[in-house]
Amino acid sequence: MRDDSQVSNLFEIFTWPNQHFTAGGVRTTGSAFLFDLLSDFCRKIVTPAVLSMRERDERLVHLVLCGNENAWNTLYQEAVPWVTCAVKGFDHQNFFPDDEHKDIVDEAFTRCYGQLERYQGRSRFRRWVFGYAKNIMYQRRSAQLTAYRNQYLLECAAESQYRGSDPLYILIHLEQARHLWNAFYMLDKIERRIIFQRVFFQKAPRTLAQELCRTRQQVLDLYEGACVKLKWNFLHQS
């Protein structure tokens, strides 16, 4: 068992991570010494300003919970510009119009106001609100996609070629459409996005390439590959 009276250099710590050393008058192992060293370093590099702002947010939330409406106005006025920009940036697909961005932000703050006791100060208040906003966007996007799917199914059933047809034939066609949507949701996120934008919004490959920071050819390759996977998913559903 190696036991030095003093840590001479970091090389020894890396070489003998489980051996015992004496550092600063304290007996420790190399790995434990490194952990303490890094922990102390991390505490120093976290700026006091960030910590103080988080602590300030936490104090303001506490005041709101105690009935101070001015504290809520302060939190809202300081956070709403940042949250609004974050929501617009997160919607890089331009799925929602600008007026709905504002509605999403308002709903996020409303939800947060009703659940302030859940804020624990682990992040800035504005980031906490943005977490709610992202969930709202996911929910609305899912609802919108479901609405598109249902509209598509209704249009298929209402097409002239199916009028007067055997109800069983119409049912089979609708079931095929349902399987197609299931196959669509089995694709990767970027594949779903490309197919959705190309099919429903007729976006040009060049436009998609700019939005995705890719070349036009890369978008075309992704679209072709996604279509192949979509067909495979559709044909191999149990």
| 43-92 pLDDT tens trace | 554 444 545 888 899 999 999 999 998 999 999 999 999 999 999 988 87
Please spell the DSSP secondary structure of 153-196, one letter per residue.
HHHHHHSGGGTTS-HHHHHHHHHHHHHHHHHHHTS-HHHHHHHH
pLDDT score recorded for residue 4: 45
How far apart (Å, rounded) are the C-alpha atoms in residues 56 and 49? 10
Residue 93 phi/psi, 5° resolution?
Answer: -85, -5
What pLDDT score was predicted for residue 37? 54
Which of the pair, 186 or 110, is modelled with greater confidence?
A: 110
Answer for the pair 155, 104: CB distance below 8 angstroms, yes or no. no
- By CB atoms closer than 10 A (0-12, 13-18, 19+), residue 112 is buried
For the stretch 103-146, pLDDT in tens is: 999 999 999 999 999 998 889 999 999 999 999 988 888 777 77
pLDDT, averaged across the chain: 76
The CATH 1.10.1740.10 portion of the chain extends over 48-140
pLDDT at 23 over 60: no
Q: In this predicted structure, what is the pLDDT of residue 105?
A: 94
- Of residues 13 and 31, which shows the higher confidence score? 31
Nearest Cα to 60, choosing from 47, 69, 51?
Answer: 69
pLDDT given for residue 13 in this prediction: 42
Q: Residue 16: is its pLDDT beyond 50?
A: no
Q: Where in the chain is the domain with CATH 1.10.10?
A: 171-235
Q: What is the dihedral of CA 182, 186, 190, 193, to 10 degrees?
A: 0
187 against 19, higher pLDDT: 187
Q: Tell me what percent of the residues of the chain surpass a pLDDT of 70.
A: 66
CATH architecture of 48-140: Orthogonal Bundle (1.10)
| pLDDT at res. 40 | 56
DSSP, collapsed to helix, strand or coil, labels residue 21 as: strand
Map residue 28 onto helix, strand or coil: strand
* Spatial distance between the Cα atoms of 158 and 178, rounded to a whole number of angstroms: 16
> Which residues have a Cβ under 8 Å from the Cβ of 29 and sit 6 or more positions away?
17, 18, 19, 20, 21
Does the structure show a pLDDT above 90 at 149? no
CATH class of domain segment(s) 171-235: mainly alpha
pTM of the model: 0.50
Q: How far is CA 222 from the centre of its chain?
A: 22
Contact 197, 165 (CB under 8 A): no
pLDDT the model gives residue 21: 47
Four-residue CA torsion sign, 119, 65, 83, 131: positive
